[in-house]
Every structure is written in structure tokens, then in C-alpha cells.
Structure 1
Amino acid sequence: MTVVAAGVALFGALFFALGAALQQVEAVRTSEHALLRLARRPRWLLGGLSIITGGGLHIVALSLGPLTVVQPMGVASLLFALPISAALMGRRPAGAEILAAATVSAGLAGLVLIVPPAWNAPTLNGSETATLLTVTGIAALLLWAGSRVAAPSLRAGLLAAGSGVLYGATATLTRVLVKGTWEIWLILLIPVPAIVALMLLQRAYSVGHFGVSFASLQVADPLTAVAFGALLLGEPLPVGPGGVAVAVGAAGLACVGTVALARTTPLSH
């Protein structure tokens, strides 16, 4: 079943990458990032359906195999996304792009594997939820403000990082809902950061530099979820000098790969 879980997770990563590439192509070709306009474009909607399919397959994979096998497979979405996006734009990805994407993926896989699994049922009270949303909102706002004066590659990365922070908060709320207490107020809150995250991500896609946008999203989302998990949900972090050193090294590797993508990915792709 572990092999099956890994295979399903890889298919999920492929669907997620395809959906992201389709949405980015629509956003960059039309220079549009307004959701209502993009939602009228069939290929953008197809991308959304593909992303939902990828998420569903990831959940199925988690039900079939251990987290330590399934999560690293999801990291492969970046390696799938770059060649798919390049093909949709009518070009071939450069070797330097693939190498940079592999560097980001290796760093993310390291982060995923080093974080210990959580066994307790997560809970959030009102003040903790307010803290989560406030910190997330401020971080996303600062990243958006920074993107207003940044160069194109950095602008794409900052906007996508803001989206990743919001998606990380969404993942935290969803984890509490699914694995903790089923609360109606959580169901009502979860769409708020998710919708804002989607809006920021389309802005990032419309800038170009798809590799930078997607890598920044892939880095910021899990880091935010792990941070909130540790600070608000009491979930464990890597312990001991060795665990911390590996975590810092993996995060550094992901960041180095993202910077390399900013230097190698064409602006309009």
C-alpha cells in the first residue's frame, strides 16, 4: 500500500502542477488577475479543476500510506510544473531552470521529512484564531506592499509568498476542523484567507516568472503551516542540534533554488 500511496501522491502532484501552469498561462497572457474575469476563461477553470483533483488525490494518498512517504511526493509538483508551463508557452525549459527547481524540491523534501508527526488533536480558541488571522494578514499585507516597488522577478516571488502565507493559515484552520473539533465558525472562516490567497497568487502569475511564483508558494505555504502548528497547535518541531541544523539547511536550500529560478526563468514564462 505504501507504493500505491506514493504513486497516487505523484499523480496528485502532476494534476496540481498542471492546474497551476494552466492558470498562470491565462493570467500572464491576458495580464489579468481579477478572479471574476479569470473565472470566465475555460482554461483557467480547467486549471482550478485540476488543482482540486490533485488535492483530492493527495488526501487519498494520505489515507493509504504514511505522511513521510506521501508529503515528499507532493514536492515533485514543482518539477512537473516548469516543463508543463514551458510547453504551454511553446518553449523548452532550460537545464538551469530544472536544476534550480530540483534544488527547491530537495530543500522542501528535507523540511517535510525532518518535521516530526503530530499525534494530538489540534484545537484553536477564539484568541488564538484571531492571532493567526492577524499575523497572517499583516505578513501578507507587507509582502504585497513590498511587491509594489520590486523588480518583476522579486514582485512575483513576494506576491506568491504572501499567497503561501495565507494558504498556510488556511491549512492550519483546515487541520483543526478535520482532525480536531468540528466547529461552524471554522467552516465560515476558512474561505477568507483562501480567497485572498488565490487573488494574490493570480497577481503573481500575471507578472510572469512562473518558476519563481510557484517555488515561493511551495516554500511559504508549508513553512507557515509548520510555524502555526508549533506556536498555536502545540505540534512538535525538529529537536536537537542535528534536527535544527538539517531544518535550517533544507530551508536555505529551498531559498537558494528560488533565487536561482528568478535568474533563469524568462519573464513571460
Structure 2
Amino acid sequence: MTMLAAAPSAAVALVGSLFFALGAALQQHVAATGNEPRLRVLLRRPRWLLGGAVIAAGGLLHVYALSIGPLTIVQPMGVASLLFALPIAAALHGRRTSRSELAAGAMVAIGLIALVLMVPVPSRPPSMTGAEVTLMLGLAGAAALVCLAAATRIGPPGRTALLAVSAGIMYGAASTLMRVIADGWPGQLWFLLALPIPLVGALMLLQKAYAIGHFGVAFAALQVADPVTAVSFGALLLGEPLPANGLAATAAAALAAAGTVALARTTPLSKR
């Protein structure tokens, strides 16, 4: 496929990234303007619901982009959501994005783009047994609980990052399970019934991260943890290949992590 032929999918994916960034910024703005919110309270707030609808629209655009273009074009466009999200969130909180924030965000984006481009395309449809699904959800839940426990002992930027990482782990587990369901594996009904467990858990953890106020840190940590978790579960439980160049993949992940740390040092609290 030529670059000209791939342009429509790239454009759709880029618009989807803008939607996802806008929706995340709207939800964080609501979560950070009061006391630490509970999900049932957020569900009664129109702006937070609007953010969720915008995120869903971005997800649908991403799926459509994948249907008309290659993964190697669409996935990097998805990573651009961080660079959209930083100025949108700053504007919602009445400030301007600093150059250091944008530079740190670019580090995360470059590292993630390099990482997703190095992940091999699976050669067979994914399938899991009920025991493997249980193991995956157990591992994800345990890792999220460790992050949650550690988050109570450190300062706001680190707490934000760990809460977002825990959310990313749960989202990574959910995306792995969704891939198995979407590929038509005729598993038991509880596969579909189990899906809300990691999704709701991730949503609650992410709102806790947003409520602290360091939006750039939360969004970046989420974007790093989600694909890394999905790739790890893909290799562990689905038999999918890891990147052939492990050193380069590690360097890309390290660059994204370093950008997240830089955001923790440069992005101010947005909570009023």
C-alpha cells in the first residue's frame, strides 16, 4: 500500500486521536475540580459523560481506520493523542502548555511509536481457555493492587503515575480479552460477562489518577502501560511474538518512561 493510499486511514486515525484526547481532557477536568470523585457521582455529571461519548467516538474512528488501512500507519497516529491532550487540558484549566511539557510529551510519543512499530503482527487468530482468562485477570488485578498500594506512600506526581499505570494494566487486560472475543472464538458466555471487570476497574483507577491533577502524567503513564501490558499478555497467553530486537524495544519503552518522568517534573497541578 502506498503512502497516498494510506492517507485516508491516517487522517481518520488522527481525528480519532483528537477525539480521544478531548474526551480524556474533559473527564479529567471534571474529576479534578472537586473532592476525589466516585464513579456513581461522575455518571451524573454531563461534562464527564460528554467526555466518555467523545472517547467512544474516537475509539470507533480508530476501529474504522484499522479497517481501511494498515496497523503500521494507524497505530502511530493513535499515539498522537498525547500531544493533542496536553494543550487541550491546559486550556480547560486556564493556562498555556509549556515547551518543557510538549518536549516531554514528544518523548513519550516517539518512544511509543517506535515500540508499536516493532511489535510483530500476529500470524494466527487469538484464543484463550477459561483458565487463561482467569489467570490474566488475576495477574492484572494483582499488579494493579500493588501499584495502588504503592501509590499511597508517595507524592502527587508519582501517585498519579502509579494509579494511571494500574488503570493501563487493567485496560491492557481488557483489550486482550476483547481481541479474543472479537475474533470470534466460541468461548463460554462468561468471557463476555467478564469483560466489564477490568474495564470498570480501569475506569475507576483512572479517575482517581485524574482527580490528583497531573493530567499529562496520568495520560502518558496510561498510554505506556496499556500497550506494554497487552503485548506482554499476548506473548504470555496467546503465543504472540515479541519484538525481534529486544534491545531496541527496551530503549523505546525507556524513552517513553523517561518522558513520563519528565512530565511529572514539568506539568503543574491542575486541581484548583
> Could you say which TM-score interval applies, normalised by the shorter chain?
over 0.9
Asked if 1:203 corresponds to 2:208, the answer is: yes
Q: Hey, what does 1:237 align to over in structure 2?
A: 242
Whole-angstrom CA distance in 2 between matches of 1:182 and 1:95:
50
Is residue 33–residue 199 contact of structure 1 (8 Å, CA) maintained in 2? no
Is residue 141–residue 162 contact of structure 1 (8 Å, CA) maintained in 2? yes
Asked if 1:138 corresponds to 2:142, the answer is: yes
Match of 2:70 among 66, 73, 94: 66
Is residue 111–residue 251 contact of structure 1 (8 Å, CA) maintained in 2? yes
Per-residue deviation, 1:180: 4.2
Q: Deviations over 1:41-69 (max 9, x none)?
A: 11000000000000000000000000000
Identity of aligned residues (%): 57
Tell me the secondary structure at the aligned position of residue 58 of structure 1: helix
Whole-angstrom CA distance in 1 between matches of 2:247 and 2:18:
31
How well do the aligned residues superpose, as a CA RMSD in angstroms? Answer: 0.9
Q: Deviations over 1:10-40 (max 9, x none)?
A: 0000000000000000000113321110111
Is residue 123–residue 180 contact of structure 1 (8 Å, CA) maintained in 2? no
Tell me the secondary structure at the aligned position of residue 29 of structure 1: coil
Q: Hey, what does 1:96 align to over in structure 2?
A: 100
Asked if 1:221 corresponds to 2:223, the answer is: no
Letter in 2 for 1:26: V
Per-residue deviation, 1:174: 0.2
Whole-angstrom CA distance in 2 between matches of 1:55 and 1:108:
18
Q: Hey, what does 1:166 align to over in structure 2?
A: 170
- Unpaired runs of 5+ in structure 1? none
Q: Hey, what does 1:257 align to over in structure 2?
A: 259
Per-residue deviation, 1:185: 1.7
Whole-angstrom CA distance in 1 between matches of 2:37 and 2:172:
21
Whole-angstrom CA distance in 2 between matches of 1:33 and 1:247:
37
Whole-angstrom CA distance in 2 between matches of 1:228 and 1:2:
29
Letter in 2 for 1:188: L
Whole-angstrom CA distance in 2 between matches of 1:228 and 1:131:
10
Per-residue deviation, 1:112: 0.3
Is residue 5–residue 70 contact of structure 1 (8 Å, CA) maintained in 2? yes
TM, length-normalised to structure 1: 0.97
Per-residue deviation, 1:236: 1.1
- Unpaired runs of 5+ in structure 2? none
Letter in 1 for 2:157: S
Q: Hey, what does 1:35 align to over in structure 2?
A: 39
